[in-house]
Amino acid sequence: MIEPDLRDRIMAAPEVILEDQDLMRALIGANERAMGSNIVDLRGIAMERLEHRLERLEDTHRTVIAAAYENLAGTNQVHRAILQMLDPLSFEDFLKSLSSDVAATLRVDCIRLVLESVQEAEDPALRRLGDVLCVAEPGFTADYVSGGRNVSLRAVTLRQTVPTSELIYGERVGWIRSEALMRLDFGKGRLPGLLVMGSEDPHHFKPTHGTDLLAFFAGVFERTMRRWLS
């Protein structure tokens, strides 16, 4: 027998039992046992299927919300990095901000700018700009992105790799495990460039990740570089 005080509380708020999934399962199970094994409860089967469907919908709902929050956080992150990139008033400070503030905001271990040029890389004016800038021979960008293969080049390439070129990463070449490669077009009559983000985390950049935000960042960077090169 149910204790009187417990019965009174259930009668006063029966919706509490309806909202408790574990308790409702126990009640349905007890009802099925009371009916015996010769009776098939179609209503119970239908409710069980609806319950599984509801669980799947709730899982999908949580996944969509998590993806939306992650996308919003990534958008805010890229926006902050762009504002930091636009602050410097000189090209030298612009490059320094890439390796410090911008890299920290985007949570990458290094950022490198590769410019194709016929000018010697040992030129004192270029060396003074620090280790962010890498000067390469014409054609280096396409070869590095494609890995020497005959494939169509995308604007943004994400890959998990151990880079083989010390030109970009220098002494850190052995530590980089994933990278984002953004091809840059500086306009008619100018050689292309490459913006590289490297991470020691092999899962930071993966081919399955979206590239829309990085493509937007590269577009702003490209237009900023055109101003410096003009």
Reported as a single tens digit per residue, the pLDDT across 136-170 is: 889 898 888 887 677 777 889 999 887 777 788 88
Distance in angstroms (rounded) separating the CA atoms of residues 135 and 116: 6
Q: In this predicted structure, what is the pLDDT of residue 43?
A: 67
- Does 192 have pLDDT greater than 70? yes
- Does 90 have pLDDT greater than 70? yes
Question: Out of 63-67, 176-180, 198-202, 223-227, which region has the weakest mean confidence (pLDDT)?
Answer: 63-67
Count how many residues are written for the chain: 230
Q: What confidence category does residue 178 fall into, taking pLDDT thresholds of 50, 70 and 90?
A: very high
DSSP string, 108-162: -SEEEEEEE-SS-TT-HHHHTT-SSEEEE-TTHHHHHHHTTS--PPPSEEEEE--
CA 30 to chain centre: 49
Distance in angstroms (rounded) separating the CA atoms of residues 63 and 58: 9
Q: In this predicted structure, what is the pLDDT of residue 40?
A: 60
Q: Which residues fall within 8 angstroms of residue 104, CB to CB, at 6 or more apart? A: none
In this predicted model, what pLDDT tens digit does every residue of 60-83 receive, in sequence order? Answer: 888 788 777 777 888 888 999 999
Question: 16-19: long-range contacts at Cβ-Cβ below 8 A with a sequence spacing of 24 or more?
Answer: none
Distance in angstroms (rounded) separating the CA atoms of residues 146 and 156: 12
Q: What confidence category does residue 105 fall into, taking pLDDT thresholds of 50, 70 and 90?
A: very high
- Does 6 have pLDDT greater than 70? yes
Residue ranges and CATH numbers for the domains of the chain are: 90-229 (3.30.450.40)
Q: Which amino acid is at 164?
A: T
Phi, psi at 157, each rounded to 5°: -125, 125
Q: Please state, rounded to an integer, the average pLDDT across all residues of the chain.
A: 82
